[in-house]
Amino acid sequence: MSKRVSGFSKFSIEEKTRWLARNYFKDENTGISILKQYLNQDQKLQDLHNEFIENTISNFYIPYAIAPNFIINGQTYALPMAIEESSVVAAASLVAKFWSNRGGFKAEVVSTIKVGQVHFMFVEDFQKLTSYFNNVKSQLIESTNSITQNMRKRGGGIIDIELRNKTSELKNYYQLHVTFETVDSMGANFINSCLEVIANTFKNESIKIVMSILSNYVPECLVKAEVSCNVDDFFVDNGAYYAQKFVQAVQIANVEPYRAVTHNKGIMNGIDAIVLATGNDFRAVAAGAHAYASRSGKYKSLTHAKIENGKFHFWIEIPLSLGTVGGLTKLHPLAKLSLEILQQPSAKELMQIIAVAGLAQNFAALKALTTTGIQQGHMKMHLMNILNQMEANLNEKRIIIEKFEGKTVSHNAIAKALHTLRTENLI
Ligand code: MEV
């Protein structure tokens, strides 16, 4: 049977679902009822979600949680996090509490410049191109006036346009490298609209435009967050020893890419969760962060640590392109609420909050890895997932959780305990 379909986007949700069930579900009715179960009963809210993308047939839930007690630049925040990984929010909350007793987190935005490029081919003499560019440069900026008008009023707009010769890397390849300030919006649509107008104004018979698009590499949209404490306050006892071990763990991530990727993935656990909860683009943030981690030509840690004069210092430097206006931030009711929970931050404040979440998550991971190991905390949080997989009822969950309190959790051990419980009919 052919699984091809035409005009799918014109089908109603019911028609799409039925088509899908007929062609792809093992059990049509079960599949349909799962999809229906996740549709919102409030039709207006469902319509809103349907219209975010094309061909919506249901909603895919992930948990939305709060990590309270984050002190950032003297203010206390409760961080909204959307994430499915069981230990992330618990770890964030523990770390927030730990640092709230040691002066909290400090964060500052280093720069907020965003980038877009018009990529084009030109076969003639570079000098000719340079003088043409110099002649039309102000016209290029003026041609975007109607698009940039509102942004300029808010203090943003085009910062500069640079002609870049890339022919040593690719024959005939040049670009207009355009820098932007987009204030409180992430600015993707704004940047792309400006670039297309600039390209149209710039092109001529010899200039062949290939494409115009923003860059998600934003090394000059940079934020720093840090914590510090006396080494003696780092751990209940032998703080200096554990602080040193922690610094070594960061040093390892700086020299060993296999470790650095996992180390930075842990940072992104905290970052992506808030990026998603605030309706921002986590793919863009992740792509930009990993590119920044490789800027030296080698993939390295996004965090840094040192001990100096008996003090432990730990900090992150990360590019974050975020918005607190526009896009999903005001459309998705939960994204809107997340911004309310964060006290309506500016994009700069949100950069600081999110950098802190990344630093906190890395702190939690490295502290666990260099002391008890990661599995103790992970498996404890994972216990509920395992019990749910095994379809444990409420009573079974209660008994097993009690049984494993303070003990090492493994899939096998839980399966065995549950089996014993069920066969011995203890419940
Ligand atoms: C798991 O999601 C993240 C960690 O692997 C991070 C790390 O190893 O640093 C725990």
pLDDT digit string (tens) for the chain, length 427 residues: 679 999 999 999 999 999 999 999 999 999 999 999 999 999 999 999 999 999 999 999 999 999 999 999 999 999 999 999 989 999 999 999 999 999 999 999 999 999 999 999 999 999 999 999 999 999 999 999 999 999 999 999 999 999 999 999 999 999 999 999 999 999 999 999 999 999 999 999 999 999 999 999 999 999 999 999 999 999 988 999 999 999 999 999 999 999 999 999 999 999 999 999 999 999 999 999 999 999 999 999 999 999 999 999 999 999 999 999 988 888 999 999 999 999 999 999 999 999 999 999 999 999 999 998 877 777 777 888 889 989 999 999 899 988 888 777 888 989 999 999 988 865 5
User: Among positive and negative, which fits the CA dihedral 165, 290, 156, 277?
Assistant: positive
Say yes or no: 359 and 268 in one domain: yes
Say yes or no: 203 and 344 in one domain: no
DSSP code of residue 325? B
CA pair distance 396, 401, nearest whole angstrom: 8
- Looking at 147, 182, 214, the residue that finishes a domain is 214
Does residue 321's CB lie within 6 angstroms of at least one atom of ligand 1?
no
Q: How many domains does the chain have?
A: 4
Say yes or no: 231 and 104 in one domain: yes
Say yes or no: 45 and 137 in one domain: no
Say yes or no: 104 and 121 in one domain: no
Which residues carry out catalysis? 85, 265, 281, 378
Structural domain containing residue 26: 8-50
Residues 6 or more apart whose Cβ sits within 8 Å of residue 163: 129, 130, 133, 174, 175, 176, 177
Does residue 365's CB lie within 6 angstroms of at least one atom of ligand 1?
yes
Contact 70, 96 (CB under 8 A): yes
CA pair distance 155, 194, nearest whole angstrom: 16
Say yes or no: 133 and 260 in one domain: no
Model-level pTM?
A: 0.91
User: Among positive and negative, which fits the CA dihedral 94, 97, 99, 105?
Assistant: positive
Say yes or no: 249 and 350 in one domain: yes
C-alpha angle 349-253-270 in degrees, rounded to nearest 5: 35
Contact 177, 115 (CB under 8 A): yes
Say yes or no: 355 and 273 in one domain: yes
Using the mean position of ligand 1's atoms as its centre, give its distance from the Cα of residue 82 in Å: 17
Please name the residue whose Cα sits nearest to atom 6 of ligand 1: 266
Please name the residue whose Cα sits nearest to atom 10 of ligand 1: 365
Largest CA distance in the chain: 88
Name the token pair of 155: 């203090």
Does residue 263's CB lie within 6 angstroms of at least one atom of ligand 1?
yes
Domain assignment present for residue 157? The answer is yes
Count helices and strands (H / E) in the chain.
15, 10
Say yes or no: 387 and 339 in one domain: no
